[in-house]
Amino acid sequence: MTEDVGMGTVLGEWVLRTACTQAKGWSAAGHPSIQLSVNLSDSQFHDSTLTKKVAHVLADTKFPPELLDLELTETIAVRNPERSVAALQDLRAVGVQLSLDDFGTGFSSLRHLQQYPINALKIDQSFIRNIAANQRDAAITRTVIAMAHNLGLRVLAEGVETQDQLDFLREHGCEEVQGFIVSQPLPPDQFVPFVSKHIATGAGSRFISFRRFAT
């Protein structure tokens, strides 16, 4: 809806600034530093001033750029691959990490994937849901993990909910997961104790995502 009324860029910048401010505040209070993942909307990514806005937010909040991971969906990236490569290169120059989200849904060619200056692929949850029972989903997931590693990329699986899914992903070298098996969305007052506990036990997930429209 915000995209339809022209508010996607404004809301996206607010989400980014709020997330960086909150994460920097936790770090300043003595809590463990986290890798922060923030989604880019379609209008944000096609905003010619995006890189400047990201740089300003990082400077204003003093949040380390290497701890910020900006996520772009594959669907947005493939709409104009050449422009996407240039925009991603500009963002990389700021020092942030970049991930291609919902991979497997946007029909990227291997040539485009090789050109994108990204750090990670996120496998769409539609492939994860049935990997323990569906041989095709399992084969696709194994192939994506192997391909990403051959390109020097990290792999994150979305929508992981069961131990069988987690075991499969571990067996095939997936480094990171998101999903209810880690935690349901948490309010700030519950989030910090959760992260501190799981980092202390070595069981924490590296990625904590601030999702647009989350409550």
Return the pLDDT at 33.
82
Give tens-digit pLDDT for 133-154.
Answer: 999 999 999 999 999 999 999 9
The percentage of the chain sitting over the pLDDT mark of 90, rounded to a whole number, equals 65
Round to whole Å and give the CA distance between 113 and 117: 9
Give tens-digit pLDDT for 83-99.
Answer: 999 999 999 999 999 99
Return the pLDDT at 194.
85
- Whether the CB-CB separation of 11 and 212 falls below 8 Å is answered with yes
pTM here? 0.87
Res 11 pLDDT > 90: yes
Q: Which residue has the higher pLDDT, 215 or 40?
A: 40
**84, 73, 87: which is closest to 37 by C-alpha?**
73
Round to whole Å and give the CA distance between 67 and 36: 6
The DSSP result for 54-84, as a single string, is HHHHHHHHT--GGGEEEEEEHHHHHHSHHHH
Domains of the chain: 13-213 (3.20.20.450)
